[in-house]
Amino acid sequence: MGLKNPKEIYDHAIKNDYALGAFNTFSLETALAVMDAAEEMRSPAIIQVSMGARKFVKNLDVYVEMLRRLADKYEVPFFIQHDHCPTVEACKEAIEAGCQSVMFDGSHYPIEENIAKTKELVATCNILGLSLEAEVGSLR
């Protein structure tokens, strides 16, 4: 089945009342473990890359391409998201590398700056047809 549009996967999960797991990966082995488990459970999954994983994944574009090629071997759908990008630049790097969705964590910025940066990324993602998740702040 391979990669699907994040919106399609989210919509299917909502319509069919199930949770959609998101799993950070940092190597071929961790990606295979997540994808094999998803296949065994017959459940779509979000394959994630994190900033921490970039310590192990030196060429993000190559890693994302590997994830894309692996996903083609499975019957369940996946999408690739970069988790907790702390800057607009990190989000844009993830987008350029081929991630279908990015999570912008601007919670460390003042709220006005966070909102402005999030709006910038919304505009970029809307143009490219990508998904964006954003962390605006914290609950107290």
Residue 2 phi/psi, 5-degree rounding, is: 80, -160
61 catalytically annotated: no
Q: Find residue 131's DSSP bridge partners.
A: 101
Which of the residues 11, 61, 83, 105 is marked catalytic?
Answer: 83
Distance separating alpha carbons of residues 48 and 85, to the nearest angstrom: 11
- Is the separation of the CB atoms in 27 and 61 below 8 Å? no
Helix (H) or strand (E) holding 20: none
Place of tokens 């990669």: 3
Within 8 A by CB and 6+ apart from 12, the residues are 44
Distance separating alpha carbons of residues 42 and 44, to the nearest angstrom: 7
Q: Which residues are catalytic?
A: 83
